[in-house]
Structure 1
């Protein structure tokens, strides 16, 4: 089992954030939600470890 990494693990976090914002430019709220859902599924597939994905959901939950 791999553990969820919560420490900074980006080479260029600001570049990623800028690309993420750019991907949302001009989208409706519904299209933004759809993009976010597809991105989550693509990244979840890349991670591929159910326990890591569940830990990520827990970490991202506001009341965790």
Structure 2
């Protein structure tokens, strides 16, 4: 399964707002911890190591 890089979230602006709202009352450390947990939860959901490897490269700004 290749990494999906096209917009693939229904109502992306709504999701972004939910993400921001979920961290609104958290201090910086707790917000960072939440982001780390979210990454691990979603990585587990994806499960495909090749897709995850590609996502890591892209997130780090390295060519795919």
Q: Give the equivalent residue in structure 2 for 1:27.
A: 26
Distance in 2, matches of 1:34 and 1:61, equals 19
TM-score (norm 1): 0.92
Segments of 5+ residues of structure 1 without an aligned counterpart are none
- TM-score, normalized by length of structure 2? 0.92
- What's the CA shift string for 1:4-62, capped at 9, x where partnerless? 01011111100110000001111111101100001001100110001100100111113
SS of the counterpart of 1:9? Answer: coil
Count of aligned pairs between the two proteins: 62
**Which sections of structure 2, spanning at least 5 residues, go unmatched?**
none
* 4+ runs deviating over 4 angstroms: none
